[in-house]
């Protein structure tokens, strides 16, 4: 399988705090990588470095074979990004916003309209097309963010909390969409989440980071298998707690 995301030894300091302290990630075509970790572990910072929004202090990123630091525009063309909180221009109407993104992505005229129509159908945005983004519910806002990220059908997708704020039905729908894009369209997808069941539902791989370092990198099934026998409730919760609260050794096989 081809490696579509290749991050080597990413590091980032904010003042004296080492937010990301040497992260390596290789994500292949068809993989859906669930990115987990407690708040402040460096998830968003890592994703921002993968997309080039933040410059890493050291380390390199390649997206679909293009180095982010030598050819940033070409690398960005091959990537779709849903930033944390799904930011969008509040005064713009949904259709105008998606048209703007399509044009900024280099699609012109009827091609741009066609792309927008396609994504609207795919994400079911038809009923809110004429509304301004500030009037949308949190769920629709998130879906608009997802729509702009996949509009150009990129090989690489970076999604920061794509299902946050969605109701159970919408969550189910978005998860199906993500699984499909990974499995049948062969995209490399990195998504961050706080919902551990989501990792089991859509991800082919789970990476847990803590204090800026990768502490777990394996399949969700094996992650569940690591759970201590006596743990009540969710097995994943127990693993997550044990690896991110310092007793890493006890949790390992």
Partner 1 sequence: MRRIGIVFRREFSGYFATPLAAIFLVVFLFLSSMFAFNIGGFFDRGQADLRPFFQFHPWLYLFLVPAISMRLWAEERRTGTIELIATLPLTMQDLVLGKFFAAWAFSGLALLLTVPMWWTVSFLGEPDHGVIVCSYLASWLTAGAFLAIGSAISSLTKNQVVAFVLCAAVCFLLLLSGFSVVLDFFRSWAPNMVVEGLSAIGVLTHFDSMVRGVIDLRDVLYFASLIVAFLMINTAVIDWRKAA
Position 16 contacts partner 1 (CB under 8 A): no
**C-beta closer to partner 1: residue 52 or 182:** 52
Residue 41 backbone dihedrals phi, psi, to 5 degrees: -80, -15
Binding mask 128-167 toward partner 1 (x if CB under 8 A, else -) reads ----x---------------x-------------------
Burial environment of residue 77 by CB neighbours within 10 A (0 to 12, 13 to 18, 19 or more): middle
CA quadruple 171, 177, 183, 188: dihedral sign:
negative
Closest separation in Å from C-beta 199 to partner 1? 24
Cβ neighbors of 38 (< 8 A, separation 6 or more) are: 210, 244
Closest separation in Å from C-beta 89 to partner 1? 6
CA distance 35 to 120: 27
Closest separation in Å from C-beta 58 to partner 1? 17
Window 26 to 65, contacts with partner 1 (CB under 8 A) = 48, 51-54
CA quadruple 192, 197, 203, 208: dihedral sign:
positive
Site residues, partner 1 (CB under 8 A): 48, 51-54, 73-74, 76-77, 79, 81, 83-85, 87-92, 96, 100-101, 103-106, 132, 148
């Amino acid at each position: 399988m081809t490696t579509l995301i290749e991050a080597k030894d990413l590091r980032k300091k904010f003042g004296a705090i080492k937010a990301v302290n040497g992260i390596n990630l290789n994500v292949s075509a068809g993989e859906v990588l669930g990115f987990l970790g407690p708040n402040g572990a460096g998830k968003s910072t890592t994703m921002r470095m993968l997309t080039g929004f933040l410059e890493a202090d050291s380390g390199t990123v390649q997206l679909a074979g293009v180095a982010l630091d030598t050819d940033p525009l070409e690398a960005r063309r091959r990537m779709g990004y849903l930033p944390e909180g799904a930011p969008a221009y509040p005064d713009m109407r949904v259709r105008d916003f998606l048209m703007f993104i399509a044009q900024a992505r280099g699609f012109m005229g009827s091609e741009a309209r066609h792309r927008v129509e396609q994504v609207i159908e795919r994400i079911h945005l038809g009923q809110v097309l004429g509304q301004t983004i500030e009037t949308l519910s949190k769920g629709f806002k998130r879906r608009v963010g997802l729509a702009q990220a996949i509009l150009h059908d990129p090989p690489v997708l970076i999604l920061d909390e794509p299902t946050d704020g969605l109701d159970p039905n919408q969550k189910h729908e978005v998860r199906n969409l993500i699984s499909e894009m990974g499995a049948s369209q062969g995209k490399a997808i990195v998504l961050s989440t706080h919902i551990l069941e989501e990792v089991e539902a859509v991800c082919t791989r789970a990476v847990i980071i803590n204090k800026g370092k990768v502490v777990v990198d394996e399949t969700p099934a094996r992650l569940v298998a690591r759970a201590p026998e006596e743990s009540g409730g969710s097995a994943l919760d127990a693993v997550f707690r044990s690896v991110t609260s310092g007793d890493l050794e006890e949790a390992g096989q």
